[in-house]
A and B are shown apart, each in its own frame.
Chain A
Amino acid sequence: MWSADQNLGGGVGHWHPHMMVFCPYYENSMLGNNPFGAPLPQVTDDAGTPFAVVVIAVNEKLAIKAK
């Protein structure tokens, strides 16, 4: 989410601070088919299922450092 210290693995590592929205059955097409990894709203996980996750990046300046 907003952490400046997140490590999302898989070669991604740190990504933009972001909100996560749990939107059952959402498809990426419902958000404009924004590409995976772009700093735009997108369904990142499990599109079209009860477990679909929408990620919305927020301004990098809002990242929160662990302390």
Chain B
Amino acid sequence: MKISIVTPMFLFVALSGAQLRAQDHKYPPIGEYLMAADAETALAKSAAPPNVSDHATIKLLSLSGYQVAHEGTNGFVCMVMRGFAAPTYTPSQLRDLVYDSALRAPICFDPSAARTVMPFYELRTKLGMEGKAPEQIAAGVQAAYVKGELPKRSEVSFA
């Protein structure tokens, strides 16, 4: 019962917040998306238990996209996703999270996801950092997927 009461409020707050930002339709300065390297590394590693993240590759966001800051040994890759990782299609209201420079979503991709999923988020980030709007990001992702420039998603993977 608690879930049914809480969820509509959660959904309302989440969607209305995104809708408010969507009215701007403008990216904040790119510097607002960046972090100090030490803080970003710590945040990225908090995405998974130490037995995973202590041995993972760490990627940090720079003005030229995500760059490897530390090479790992277990095939996992940890990074902090920004608003650019918003949904590509649905929920459509949340696509405007690309404009939210405060969003920080630490994630550790398992080896399979690092190969097949991470490139998708890196492309979304590249397009967002170029100033593309959500619908342009979706078009770019779709085109890259169709052309085989992104790995085909044929299996389940984890983060």
Residues of A at the B interface (CB closer than 8 Å) are 1-12, 19-24, 35-40, 44-47, 49-51, 64-67
Contacts and interface: CB of A to CB of B under 8 A. Distances in A.
Contacts of A37: 6-7, 10-11, 14
Interface residues of B, number: 53
Given A10-B94, A22-B113, 20 more contacts: A1-B106, A2-B47, A2-B48, A2-B49, A5-B46, A5-B104, A9-B18, A19-B159, A24-B153, A35-B3, A35-B7, A37-B10, A37-B14, A50-B152, A51-B120, A64-B46, A64-B49, A64-B50, A66-B43, A67-B46
B105 interface: yes
Interface string B18-35: 100100000000000000
Interface of A is mostly: loop
Contacts of B104: 5-7
